[in-house]
Amino acid sequence: MNYFHKFSSGHMNYVWKQLNARLLKWVKWEKDLGVRAAVKWLQIQYKLNPYLFPHWQVAHP
């Protein structure tokens, strides 16, 4: 992950955004929340455990 992000960060940013978007979609479905509530829930989870998903070290929710 770090190798590709270091040498191809422009392309990898797109991948991290897509991954975060998919994660947001899953949270909306799983928790039955709206968009803002799901984003807030993900941000809280990031603050509690920033290493929960490895891509959060590079791209924050």
Boundaries of every domain in the chain: 16-57
Q: What is the DSSP string of 3-18?
A: HHHHH-HHHHHHHHHH
Helices (H), 1-61: 2-7, 9-31, 35-48
Per-residue model confidence (pLDDT) at position 1: 64
Provide the whole-model pTM. 0.76
Per-residue model confidence (pLDDT) at position 16: 85
pLDDT per residue over 2-24, tens digit each?
A: 666 666 667 778 888 899 999 99
Share of the chain above pLDDT 70, in %: 85
CA dihedral of 44, 57, 52, 1, whole degrees rounded to 10: 150
